[in-house]
């Protein structure tokens, strides 16, 4: 029986990387190959490259016009034009033509007056080498074109050809084998056509790692899934090493579970340098050597896997290729929520960014190591230092950009209540203006209003019912945003009700059924309009909230509620019809409510906001919202006085 591994001493990631690179000595990687320049895009030069040919290699006309000797034009002026004989003193040339012998300047055609077929006239003197590309103006034979360790771009390839270089010596791309492990792991090709079975995990990590390897300049070598069997894992490690691969990645199995054998097998086959790094996510990362080849145990969760690759594999490949590890641009941001963190661990938090007024606000994405969508949606990463317990809401923080600044500048930030219409709105806004995007964060209607008050968002989605007046949203705006002028733009009336499993097996007919012992409820978070509606309806009908089994269990979106019901985690939840319809669930209508967007007056005329409003007022968008089911968008885009 294989002994369970326990993290005896976790290192900081900087210490771990230093130990790893010192042992591997990646600078010893010296595999080169000569390839045609036209096939060298993205490859790394293995040696300095010098021009074999001057560029241009002859004196050439830089403009259309006449070539001549500059000295014959001296004294020419508007009141003293100089006439020249074509074919003797002046020669017509096009851009790129060689200069005729004896000439040293070109007068552009716009400044040439043709008298007849044999004579031209100019009214301005030319100086030597005017409008001429001289030999070697761009490159001189023997001049350095590119240094060693340079990653080739399309422009670099053109420069090499201009300098007479047809073939280039480049570093061979390190061959990186990715070994997925786990008895529950199945390939996408096997699982997706038939539908994955319960307990099966589709192997998408291998595809993520393959893409990261290619981006880092390596060549990914896929490997079949290896079961959680110590002997099979050891054989896979040794096989990958003896096949001549330069780096070995083992995905999953490096944690401290009963079936996590990576550390034991690496220790048997070679040497474990580091097991356990003080980072979150990615703590189980393992670094080692097998037969003098670097081996990295990559954690199984996708966010952990991506971070582990970035911190350890990317610098390794860069060093093997003779390059510096890439660094991201850093900017100052202001988190919209507190980012708590555990002392002693450096945490990497992925966030979405948007510029509201003069501040760049950062809205944290879900921090789970298995939340793959945090990889696709993130604009930046905030690092929380090891000796910090977190970053307070609204406090200045440093973020590393994952996207260009232009995307951040052209982002409309919506914080507040979740609605399916927002997802469609984001797509339509992008279609209307390709440079624009919409970023929504679901914290509930009240949370959205508070975010507006603090200057964290451009818009807030809200459907807050005031139990006293029966009005939606306006009483809350007056209460919390009384000092700020706002506009209220209508999105739709929508149907709220019970989301139920197909066939409604528990026979739920009304709110009174929620207090039954055999019924499990799933709720929305505090401050959400749906939660407020539930509390209001329960009070109206005399239902004791404390007796609802699951009242304290929360989801942040209508789709989250629908998934909880559809997966059997709950028997019923309160949400919109569109979410039930999307997942093929039953629906029992309870109440028609109003969903609006709240917009600060100061931001209303912002061109980005106007694009959003134009989409809301389009008949085509309205028709698509209606197709979702449970929506009445007849007044979509209309303003209501606050």
Quick one: pLDDT at residue 259? 52
Question: Which CATH number is associated with domain 445-640?
Answer: 3.40.190.10
In this prediction, residue 252 carries a pLDDT of 81
State how far the alpha carbon of 168 is from the alpha carbons of 33, 136, 322, 340, in Å: 8, 21, 16, 51
Is the confidence at residue 256, as pLDDT, over 80?
A: no
Contacts of 3 (CB under 8 A, 6+ apart): 264
Is the domain spanning 60-133 CATH 3.80.10.10? The answer is: no
Say if residues 98 and 120 touch (Cβ distance below 8 Å).
Answer: no
pLDDT band of residue 260 (cuts 50, 70, 90) is low
- The three-state secondary structure class of 441 is strand
**Is 331-403 a domain of CATH 3.30.70.360?**
no
Q: What is the pLDDT of residue 258?
A: 47
Instruction: Report the distance separating Cα 343 and Cα 341, nearest Å.
Output: 7
Task: Write out pLDDT tens, residues 159-169.
Answer: 999 999 999 99
Determine which of 293-307, 338-352, 472-486 has the lowest per-residue pLDDT on average.
Answer: 472-486
pLDDT of residue 2: 45
> For 32-55+137-171, CATH number?
3.90.105.10
Distance CA 85, CA 116 (A): 10
Q: Tell me the average pLDDT across 200-225.
A: 95
Phi and psi of 589, rounded to 5°?
-65, 140
Check whether 357 has a pLDDT greater than 70: yes
What is the chain's mean pLDDT, rounded? 93
User: Residue 220 to residues 247, 371, 486: CA-CA distances in angstroms?
Assistant: 10, 24, 54
Fold match between domain 60-133 and domain 445-640:
no
| 518-537: average pLDDT | 94
Residue 55 · residue 102 · CB < 8 Å: no
Tokens 């099979």 identify what position? 232
Region for 322 from its dihedrals, namely left if φ exceeds 0, alpha if ψ lies in -120 to 50, beta otherwise: left
pLDDT of residue 4: 46
In the prediction, which pLDDT does 228 show? 84
Residue-range domain boundaries for the chain: 13-27+174-320, 32-55+137-171, 60-133, 331-403, 445-640
Provide the pLDDT confidence category of residue 604 given band limits of 50, 70 and 90.
Answer: very high
593 SS3 class = strand
Question: What's this model's pTM, rounded to 2 decimal places?
Answer: 0.86
The pLDDT of 469-487, averaged and rounded, is 89
- Residue 475 — pLDDT band, cuts 50, 70, 90? very high
Can you tell me the mean pLDDT for 204-227?
A: 95
Q: What percent of the chain shows pLDDT beyond 70?
A: 97
Q: How far is the first Cα of the chain from the last one, in angstroms, to the nearest whole number?
A: 70
CATH topology of domain 13-27+174-320: Molybdenum Cofactor Biosythetic Enzyme; Chain A (3.40.980)
- Average pLDDT, stretch 217-242? 92
Does residue 3 surpass a pLDDT of 70?
Answer: no
């Amino acid at each position: 029986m294989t002994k369970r591994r326990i993290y005896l001493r976790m290192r900081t990631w900087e210490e771990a990387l230093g130990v790893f690179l010192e042992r591997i000595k990646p600078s010893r990687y010296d595999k080169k190959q000569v390839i045609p320049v036209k096939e060298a895009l993205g490859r790394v030069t293995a040696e300095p490259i010098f021009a074999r040919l001057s560029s241009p290699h002859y004196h050439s006309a830089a403009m259309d016009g006449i070539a001549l000797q500059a000295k014959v034009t001296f004294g020419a002026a508007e009141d003293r034009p100089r006439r020249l004989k074509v074919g003797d003193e002046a020669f017509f040339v096009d851009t790129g033509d060689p200069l005729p012998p004896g000439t040293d300047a070109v007068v552009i055609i716009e400044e040439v007056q043709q008298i007849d077929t044999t004579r031209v006239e100019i009214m301005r003197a030319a100086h030597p080498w005017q409008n001429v590309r001289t030999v070697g103006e761009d490159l001189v034979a023997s001049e350095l074109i590119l240094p060693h360790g340079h990653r080739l771009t399309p422009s670099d390839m053109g420069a090499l050809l201009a300098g007479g270089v047809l073939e280039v010596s480049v570093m061979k791309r390190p061959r990186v084998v990715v070994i997925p492990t786990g008895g529950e792991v199945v390939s996408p090709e096997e699982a997706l056509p038939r539908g994955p079975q319960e307990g099966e995990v589709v192997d998408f990590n291998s595809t993520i790692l393959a893409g990261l390897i290619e981006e880092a300049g390596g060549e990914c070598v896929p490997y079949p899934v290896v079961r959680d069997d110590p002997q099979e894992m050891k054989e896979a490690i040794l096989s990958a090493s003896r096949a001549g691969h330069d780096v070995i990645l083992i995905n999953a199995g490096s944690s401290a579970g009963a079936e996590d054998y990576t550390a034991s097998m690496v220790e048997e086959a070679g040497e474990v340098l580091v097991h356990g790094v003080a980072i979150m996510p990615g703590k189980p990362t393992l670094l080692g050597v097998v037969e003098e080849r670097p081996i990295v145990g990559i954690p199984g969760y996708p966010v952990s896997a991506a971070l582990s690759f970035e911190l350890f594999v990317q610098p390794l490949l860069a060093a093997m290729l003779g390059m510096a590890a890439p660094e991201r641009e850093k900017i100052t941001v202001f988190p919209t929520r507190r980012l708590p963190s555990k002392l002693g661990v450096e945490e990497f938090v992925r966030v979405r960014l948007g510029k509201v007024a003069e501040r760049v606000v950062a809205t944290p994405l879900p921090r789970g190591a298995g939340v793959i969508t945090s990889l696709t949606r993130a604009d930046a990463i905030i690092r929380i230092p090891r000796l910090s317990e977190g970053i307070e809401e609204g406090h200045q923080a440093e973020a590393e950009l994952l996207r260009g600044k232009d995307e951040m500048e052209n982002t409309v930030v919506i914080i507040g209540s979740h609605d399916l219409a927002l997802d469609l709105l984001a797509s339509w806004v992008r279609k209307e203006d390709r440079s624009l995007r919409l970023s929504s964060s679901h914290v509930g209607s009240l949370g959205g209003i508070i975010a507006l008050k603090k200057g964290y968002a451009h818009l807030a989605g809200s459907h807050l019912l005031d139990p006293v007046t029966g009005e939606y949203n306006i009483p809350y705006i007056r209460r919390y945003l009384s000092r700020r002028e706002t506009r209220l733009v209508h999105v739709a009336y929508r149907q709220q009700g019970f989301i139920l499993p197909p066939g409604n097996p528990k026979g739920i007919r009304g709110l009174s059924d929620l207090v039954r012992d055999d019924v499990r409820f799933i709720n929305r978070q505090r401050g959400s309009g749906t939660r407020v509606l539930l509390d209001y309806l329960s009070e109206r009908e005399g239902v004791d909230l404390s007796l609802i089994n699951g009242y304290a269990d929360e989801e942040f979106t209508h789709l989250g509620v629908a998934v909880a019901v559809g997966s059997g985690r709950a028997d019923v939840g309160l949400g919109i019809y569109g979410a039930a319809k999307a997942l093929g669930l039953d629906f029992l209508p309870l109440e028609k409510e109003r969903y609006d967007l709240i917009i600060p007056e100061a931001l209303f005329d912002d061109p980005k906001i106007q694009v959003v409003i134009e989409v809301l007022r389009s008949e085509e968008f309205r028709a698509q919202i209606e197709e979702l089911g449970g929506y009445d968008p007849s007044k979509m885009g209309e303003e209501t006085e606050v």
